[in-house]
Amino acid sequence: MSRLLGAGRACALVVATASVLSIGCASGRTNIAPLPPDNYERLGPATGKACGSLGLVSTAYYFIPMGLNSRVERAQARALESVPGATGLVDVTLKEDWYWWLLGTARCVTISGEAIR
C-alpha cells in the first residue's frame, strides 16, 4: 500500500512540475500594426514575407536562432515596401509556416493587408 501512495505522490509531483513549466510558455498580445489615422487612403493589397531559422545540432536540441526574432518586423516592412507610398496596413493577417532543412528548421511569416497612406 505504501508503494502505491509513493507512486501517486511521484505522479502528482510530475504533473505539478509540468503544469508550472508550461505556464511560462504563454505570451501576451502583440500589436504588429499600429492603429491607422482617422482619415486614410486605401492603396491596395500588400504582402511581405520574412524567414528565420532555429538550428544547428540535432532535431531535439535546436538552440541557435538566426534571424528568428525580427521576422515579423521584416515581413511588415516588406509588405509596406510592396506598395509605393504606403505608410501603414489595415485588415492585417499573419500566417506562419515552417519547414525542415538539413541542420534546423525555418520559420516564415507572411503578413498581408490593405496598404494605406
Burial label, 101 (beta-carbon count in 10 A; 0-12, 13-18, 19+): exposed
**Residue 49 vs residues 23, 62, 97: alpha-carbon distances, Å:** 30, 23, 11
pTM of the model: 0.67
Q: Tens digit of pLDDT per residue, the chain (117 long)?
A: 445 446 667 777 777 776 666 555 555 666 666 788 899 999 999 999 999 988 765 555 566 778 888 899 999 999 999 999 999 999 999 999 988 877 788 899 999 999 999
Output the pLDDT for position 45: 98
C-alpha cell at 79: 509588405
